[in-house]
């Protein structure tokens, strides 16, 4: 920094010293030329020359020494041509020869003013809402914002007459071009892609102006009322369809659960029936044993009303038929003394007749099973001589 300051001060210091030296020579010449004849006039001229030297020195220091703040820069011209860009710090100019080049910026109230130092900090441009037309001919009101920074003060001064105004117009134009090439649906759903494309388009042009674009974004998008109404109807239809879908799914799920529960109930009934069926078979077999040991000539067997038990009772009837045959051939003669029993003599005149098969029974009736005949009375035991 000190070496730069010394380099800047060389020429101005030489010019100042030259001026003072010229004034001193003029004062000496005047003093020796007229001082002998008119000493008062010579003294007056020396005072005037000294005053001029002091005044020039003061003006030189006032106009020649400048201070640039941090994050600012100054473009200096010498005799109308670009000389240097001064950054933050103390700098020395040639008064009346070097001058800063002014830059147009927008003030707080929105008007443009000229400043000598250029602000290198990031700037935010909040553009007013503008109406643009999309590819599918919808008029949309868009509000955008951009952040940019001047990185090359020389290009910002000489690249365009008003870099701030140029950036604002460039953002507006790029925004209209990008939105004009997409549909409204893509505009509403693709803000990130639009912001990236805007930044790329603006950066290509702003680089020639010494400006670096940090970010460009869409703040607010106001679609037309007709589009909002159509989208509302579409969303309502989608919501209604989704509701019907969920209702159908719930109904199907309910039918599925009901079918599962019904199947489980039927399975439980089948399991209970199977256990009852087995128990009935056992009970009937036990009852048949007791019937076979009895003396009754007729047996009444209750027939079930449940058609599912028809096979069970059909089998029982067949068994009962076999029991009847057993009763018809059973020998009731028991001789005294514990000897074996003898079959009763067959009648020579009564031919044997095969027992007919039991007639098929009808469902729901109570069949009567008859024995083939009462057992013949046991013969009287033979008499023995006492």
Q: How confident is the model at residue 36 (pLDDT cuts 50, 70, 90)?
A: low
CA 353, CA 372: separation in Å to the nearest integer?
11
Would 343 be classed as within a structural domain? Answer: no
Q: Residue 159 maps to which CATH number?
A: 3.30.479.30
State mean pLDDT over 191-218.
Answer: 89
Do 126 and 170 have their domain in common?
yes
Do 144 and 215 have their domain in common?
yes
Is the pTM here over 0.85, yes or no?
Answer: no
In this predicted structure, the answer to whether residue 206 has a pLDDT above a threshold of 80 is yes
Would 313 be classed as within a structural domain? Answer: no
For residue 371, the model assigns a pLDDT of: 45
Do 72 and 7 have their domain in common?
yes
Would 267 be classed as within a structural domain? Answer: no
Q: How confident is the model at residue 386 (pLDDT cuts 50, 70, 90)?
A: very low
Do 81 and 161 have their domain in common?
no
Do 135 and 207 have their domain in common?
yes
pLDDT tens figures, 319-331: 565 555 555 554 4
Do 87 and 114 have their domain in common?
no
Do 79 and 179 have their domain in common?
no
pLDDT tens figures, 311-359: 555 655 665 655 555 555 544 444 444 444 444 444 444 444 444 445 4
Of 321, 280, 302, 303, whose CA–CA distance to 363 is shortest? 303
Do 10 and 117 have their domain in common?
no
Do 93 and 142 have their domain in common?
no
In this predicted structure, the answer to whether residue 75 has a pLDDT above a threshold of 90 is yes
Do 46 and 29 have their domain in common?
yes
Is 161 within 8 Å of 104 (Cβ atoms)? Answer: yes
Report the percent of the chain where pLDDT is more than 90: 9
Query: In terms of residue numbers, what domain contains 157?
Result: 103-223
Would 153 be classed as within a structural domain? Answer: yes
CA 288, CA 284: separation in Å to the nearest integer?
6
Domain end (from 100, 125, 145): 100
Do 95 and 110 have their domain in common?
no
To the nearest whole number, what is the mean pLDDT of the chain?
Answer: 75
Overall number of domains in the chain: 2
In this predicted structure, the answer to whether residue 274 has a pLDDT above a threshold of 80 is no
CA 10, CA 149: separation in Å to the nearest integer?
34
* Strands 130-133, 139-150: pairing kind: antiparallel
CA 72, CA 88: separation in Å to the nearest integer?
6
Domain end (from 66, 100, 134): 100
CA 201, CA 373: separation in Å to the nearest integer?
120
Would 283 be classed as within a structural domain? Answer: no
Do 207 and 150 have their domain in common?
yes
Would 230 be classed as within a structural domain? Answer: no
Would 192 be classed as within a structural domain? Answer: yes
pLDDT tens figures, 81-131: 998 999 888 888 888 888 899 988 887 777 888 888 899 999 888 888 888
Domain end (from 72, 100, 128): 100
Would 321 be classed as within a structural domain? Answer: no
């Amino acid at each position: 920094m000190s070496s730069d300051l010394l380099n800047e001060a060389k020429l101005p210091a030489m010019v100042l010293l030259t001026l003072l030296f010229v004034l001193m020579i003029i004062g000496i010449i005047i003093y020796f030329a007229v001082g002998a004849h008119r000493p008062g006039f010579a003294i007056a001229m020396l005072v005037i020359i000294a005053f001029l030297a002091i005044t020039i020195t003061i003006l030189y220091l006032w106009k020649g020494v400048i201070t640039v703040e941090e994050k600012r820069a100054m473009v200096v011209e010498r005799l109308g041509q670009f000389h240097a860009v001064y950054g933050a710090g103390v700098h020395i100019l040639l008064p009346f020869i070097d001058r800063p080049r002014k830059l147009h910026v927008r003030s707080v109230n929105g008007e443009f003013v000229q400043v000598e130092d250029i602000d290198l900090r990031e700037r935010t441009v909040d553009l007013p809402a503008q109406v643009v037309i999309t590819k599918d001919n919808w008029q949309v009101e868009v509000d955008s914002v951009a952040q940019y920074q001047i990185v090359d003060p020389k290009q910002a001064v000489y690249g365009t007459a008003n870099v701030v105004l140029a950036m604002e117009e460039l953002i507006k134009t790029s925004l209209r071009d990008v939105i004009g090439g997409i549909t409204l649906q893509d505009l509403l759903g693709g803000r990130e892609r639009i912001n990236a494309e805007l930044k790329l388009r603006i950066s290509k042009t702003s680089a020639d102006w010494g400006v670096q674009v940090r970010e460009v974004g869409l703040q607010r998008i106001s679609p037309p009322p007709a589009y909002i109404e159509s989208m509302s109807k579409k969303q309502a239809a989608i919501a209604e369809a989704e509701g019907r879908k969920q209702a159908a799914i719930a109904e199907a799920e309910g039918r599925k659960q009901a079918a599962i529960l019904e199947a489980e109930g039927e399975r439980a009934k089948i399991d209970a029936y199977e256990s009852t069926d087995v128990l009935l078979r056992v009970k009937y077999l036990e009852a048949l044993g007791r019937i076979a040991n009895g003396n009754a000539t007729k047996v009444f067997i209750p027939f079930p009303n449940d058609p599912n038990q028809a096979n069970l009772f059909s089998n029982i009837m067949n068994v009962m038929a076999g029991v009847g045959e057993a009763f018809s051939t059973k020998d009731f003669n028991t001789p005294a003394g514990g000897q074996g029993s003898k079959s009763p003599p067959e009648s020579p005149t009564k031919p044997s007749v095969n027992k007919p098969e039991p007639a098929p029974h009808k469902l729901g009736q109570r069949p009567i099973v008859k024995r083939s005949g009462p057992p013949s009375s046991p013969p009287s035991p033979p008499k023995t001589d006492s």
